[in-house]
Chain A
Amino acid sequence: MSDPHDAGKDRPQRWDRRRSLGAGLGGAIVLGVVLLLVVGLTNQTVSTSVVDALEAGKRPSAPAFSLPVLIPGGGVGPVDATVSLGSLAGRPVVLNFWASWCPPCQAEAPILERVWERYRARGVLIMGLDTQDVREDGVRFAHDYETTYPSVRDGSDRVRDAYGLTGLPETYLIDAQGRVALHIAGPITQLEQLTVPLEDLLAEGAGAPPKGRP
């Protein structure tokens, strides 16, 4: 017959194992929550690399994108066809982020249209990028403001984040090599804001940075 006191000997060992298991489980839960926070914060990060590089006097590569065509034009289309920035290489691109509900975007649309009419024959492409907008409102915007330059649509904000947008509208001038040469934060209020850097870009054949500044 075993000694009843012997049964108690296993108790501290069992308790230690249970405590280790509890600590392990608690640690795993804490680690999981921290991991989720890190993933969440990483996904929300808005890139500032393009603007930072421009401020340092460099021409960073324009973040690539493939987006569906919202408004066709200038050889870009048809509607819903996917267009990538890479497919537009070889000519300067004025990439304009806009939304139909944004009053400054409405104000600058006629100026962009005039630039488009003046420079399209010289190989410049004005490319609108409708973001944070209801699709049908975007289409109505192009109709109401009689814009004929093409636009693509970004519903997910990925492109907007990649370019480091802080508001709307914002415009990027991309050279023929696919590098960002100029960033205009806010609306274009004067034709010269675009025509001066575009002339520089066309003259240099994408060499030195354009003189024009927003």
Chain B
Amino acid sequence: MRRALVVVLLALLLLPGAAAALTVNDVAQKVRCPTCNTPLDVSNSPLASRMRAYIGARIERGWSEERIIDGLVAQFGRDVLTTPDTSGFALLAWVIPGIAVVGGLAAMALLARAWARRRPAPVAAPAVSAADFRRVQEELDRLP
């Protein structure tokens, strides 16, 4: 009974792995078509169709995603990838949006602080003459 339970548990553990088998679209969305510059999974160009066939044939041969992408990069260069490289000049494409977001947040914080500090200038009370003061005092005293 215990052994059967272990087998069932093992099978359940292996199920997600089986479900996550590599598909053509998994690879295709990471590679762009050189003729129309759109990812292979959405491109209808003849070359995209040939490239998807290339991916499908390699998956059938048991190639890993990394190996298939390396094969396509060897044929078409690194520009074939849908995401920019993480080294060299292409690194800027990753870094600049981050700098822009951090810079924008910092600018917002600085502005908010500056606006919070800006208080309205104190308004001087209008001068009240002694006669007026006395009149107001008398009127107040008359109040029930």
B63 at the interface (CB under 8 A from A): no
Main secondary structure, interface of B, reads helix
Which A residues touch B79, using CB under 8 A? Answer: 156
Which A residues touch B96, using CB under 8 A? Answer: 29, 32-33, 36
- Cα A18 to Cα B107 in complex, Å, equals 10
Please tell me if the beta carbons of A132 and B110 are within 8 angstroms of each other in the complex: no
A205 at the interface (CB under 8 A from B): no
Which A residues touch B92, using CB under 8 A? Answer: 32, 36
Please tell me if the beta carbons of B107 and A22 are within 8 angstroms of each other in the complex: yes
The segment from B12-20, B45-53, B133-141 that touches chain A is: B45-53
Which residues 130-173 of A have a CB within 8 angstroms of B?
132-137, 155-157
B75 at the interface (CB under 8 A from A): yes
Which B residues touch A33, using CB under 8 A? Answer: 96, 100
Q: A22-B107, A26-B103, A29-B99 are in contact. Are A132 and B34 (CB under 8 A)?
A: yes
> Number of contacting residues on A, CB 8 A?
22
A99 at the interface (CB under 8 A from B): yes
Known: A29-B99, A133-B50. 8 other contacts (CB 8 A): A15-B114, A18-B110, A25-B103, A26-B107, A36-B92, A36-B96, A132-B47, A134-B53
**A-to-B contact residues, CB < 8 Å:** 15, 18, 22, 25-26, 29, 32-33, 36, 99-102, 132-137, 155-157
**B-to-A contact residues, CB < 8 Å:** 34-35, 46-47, 49-51, 53-54, 75-77, 79, 92-93, 96, 99-100, 103, 107, 110, 114
For this complex, 18 residue pairs linking A to B, each with C-beta atoms less than 8 Å apart, are A18-B110, A22-B107, A22-B110, A25-B103, A29-B96, A29-B103, A32-B92, A36-B92, A36-B93, A102-B46, A132-B34, A132-B47, A133-B47, A134-B50, A134-B51, A136-B54, A155-B76, A156-B77
